[in-house]
Structure 1
Amino acid sequence: MKVVASWSGGKDSCLACYRAIQQGHDVVSLVNLLQEEGRRTVGHLLDAGLINLQSHLSGIPLLQRSVSLDTIQAEFKGVLEEAKQVGARGCVFGDIALRAHRDWAEMMCHHADIEPVFPLWEMDRAAIMDEFLKAGFEAVVVATKGRIMGPEWLGRNINRQFLDDVLELQKTTPVDLCGEGGEYHSMVTAGPLFTQRIKVTLAQPVLRDEHWFADILGYDIE
């Protein structure tokens, strides 16, 4: 089935897209939402150019839209309608356990008469991370919930040591291994979907609304 993939730039949406391809789906576009001013992504606050770069390195075209709280539903439905014009019959999402997120995605797909696909839904968290790393993907932490994970987590590579440290943190603090509760967000920098690696060379920590974000100011392509 031809599908589009909801794409945040992070590990879960990436693995969901990769899984969909492995399952035989044809991903014809990545769908990404930007904040109203059109410079940064919703949630992760990644620069729009980095999402364009990921799309370029993956060879999958990008459908990118600027949204506000008032327009997000209409804009997302519009993107799905546009995707249907290029043959898409489904949309892939990287949600794991948040029912409210799944309900919203299913509602949007229902309105657009398109099939929602959730490759990671209710998977074991450790199994998800193990699959991500074994597939050869690489990612860095680009945002954290400040009261749970401080700025020292920004820029960290998501690898076995990172997972061990999150498991250690779980002993004293409620934190999801995949960051499903927004404890942290990531940006995929390399892996089997990309032809080259993104190497972050300069990033500045920014505190906004009790969340830490890595403002990526420089990067190379390797």
Structure 2
Amino acid sequence: MKCLMSWSGGKDSALALYRCLNSPKYSIVGLVTTISSSTNRISMHGVALDVLKNQTDSIGLPLHVITLPEDCSMDAYESIMGVFMSNMKRDGIKGVVFGDIFLEDIRAYREKQMRGIGLIPIFPLWGLKSHDVANEFFANHFKSIITCVDGELLDESFVGQNYTSAYIEKLPDGVDPCGENGEFHSFVFAGPIFQRELEVKVVNTICREYPNPQGGNPKTFWFADIAISK
């Protein structure tokens, strides 16, 4: 089946892609990433477009970048994605792969959107325990760095570190080992899907505030601004 990979640049996307590349059922022909027009970065991961392109060049798959307007509404997002995915379907794409693990509402949303276009949503990691996902990631010699953490759950010291079993052990109680609830996000820079390991350095750590969807005080996130050493 000819498929696209919904690509965040992070560890779960990487492991899902790895599983699909090793399955005779799927032919992954491209990666799809959304970036913010105001920052030119992957929205919640905070990774700059040039860093993302270095990553996907090393993976060796075409990258489709979808630029979203600042303060993009859900209606606008769905319209932009709908046009893109419909065009991909006309080009022969049959399915889209996602790296979700257990969030039922996210899966239901993706299924609704994809099936409305006539594409098959694929979830290679679905139903696995987060610890098992992490262990499989490490066992296959992937490497990643934490690029964003939720400041309400994790302090600044948790951003800019490599994602390892030792990192997981330091996480506070209640934080998912894979950050599946949005506690943290990552950027993968080495592993079996890469032609070469990327040399990543942290340039700076930045604190940003965003409006709280539930109202009240803004939500705080810590970001590691990363670059690729040439």
State TM-score, norm by structure 1: 0.92
Matched with 1:83 is 88
Distance in 2 (alpha carbons) for counterparts of 1:71 and 1:52? 25
Q: Is 1:23 matched with 2:28? A: no
Deviations 1:17-63 (A, max 9, x none): 11112222111010100113360112212111122112111110011
**Residue in structure 1 matching 2:168, options 151, 163, 172:** 163
Matches within 5 A, 1:137-148: 137-148=142-153
| Consecutive unaligned residues in structure 2, runs of 5 or more | 210-219
Q: For 1:128 and 1:86, how far apart are their aligned partners in 2?
A: 32
Query: 1:2 corresponds to which residue?
Result: 2
CA distance in 1, matches of 2:196, 2:91: 27
2:222 aligned residue: 212
Q: CA RMSD in A?
A: 1.4
Q: What amino acid does structure 1 have at the position aligned with 2:67?
A: S
- For the residue of structure 1 that corresponds to 2:229, the secondary structure is strand
How far apart, in 1, do the equivalents of 2:37 and 2:112 lie? 22
Q: Could you say what secondary structure the match of 1:132 adopts? A: helix
Question: In structure 2, how many angstroms separate the alpha carbons of the residues matched to 1:38 and 1:103?
Answer: 29
Per-residue deviation, residues 154-180 of structure 1 (Å, max 9, x unmatched):
1111112112222xx22xxx2111101
The letter of the residue matching 1:157 is: N
Q: Per-residue CA shift, 1:87-138, capped at 9, x if unaligned? A: 2200000111112211221122112101000011121111100111111110
Instruction: Determine the C-alpha separation between the residues in 2 that align with 1:202 and 1:162.
Output: 17
1:184 maps to 184
Structure 1 residues 157, 202: CA separation in 2 closer, same or farther (over 3 Å shift)? Answer: closer
Structure-2 separation of matches of 1:128 and 1:176: 11
In structure 2, the partner of 1:153 is 158
Contact 2:202 2:224 in 1 (8 A): no
Q: Give the corresponding residue for 1:32.
A: 33
Q: Which runs of 4+ in 1 moved over 6 A?
A: none
SS of match in other structure, 2:8: coil
Residue 193 of structure 2 is aligned to residue 193 of structure 1 = yes
Residue aligning to 1:121: 126
Tell me the percent identity: 31
Report the 3-state secondary structure (helix = DSSP H, G, I; strand = E; otherwise coil) of the residue aligned with 1:71: helix
What is the letter of the counterpart of residue 224 of structure 2?
A
| 1:4 shift after superposition | 0.2
- Please tell me whether the aligned partners of residues 33 and 65 of structure 2 are also in contact (alpha carbons under 8 angstroms): yes
Secondary structure of the 1:195 match is: coil
Letter in 1 for 2:137: F
**Letter of the structure 1 residue corresponding to residue 228 of structure 2:** Y
More off after superposition, 40-49 vs 128-137? 40-49
Whether the 8 Å contact between 2:160 and 2:202 is mirrored in structure 1 is no
- Where structure 1 has 5 or more consecutive residues not aligned to the other structure, the ranges are none
Q: CA deviation at 1:79?
A: 2.3
8 Å CA contact retained: 2:4, 2:31: yes
Partner of 1:51: 52
Deviations 1:191-215 (A, max 9, x none): 1111111222232111112110112
Mapped partners of 2:138, 2:87: distance in 1? 33
Q: How many residues align?
A: 215
Distance 1:202 1:135 in 2: 24
Q: Distance in 1 between matches of 2:229 and 2:39?
A: 23
Q: Could you say which residue in structure 2 is the equivalent of 1:62? A: 63
Contact 1:37–1:66 (CA<8 Å) still a contact in 2? no
Q: Shift in Å at residue 82 of structure 1?
A: 2.8
| Structure 1 Cα separation of the partners of residues 39 and 116 of structure 2 | 25
SS class of match (1:76):
helix
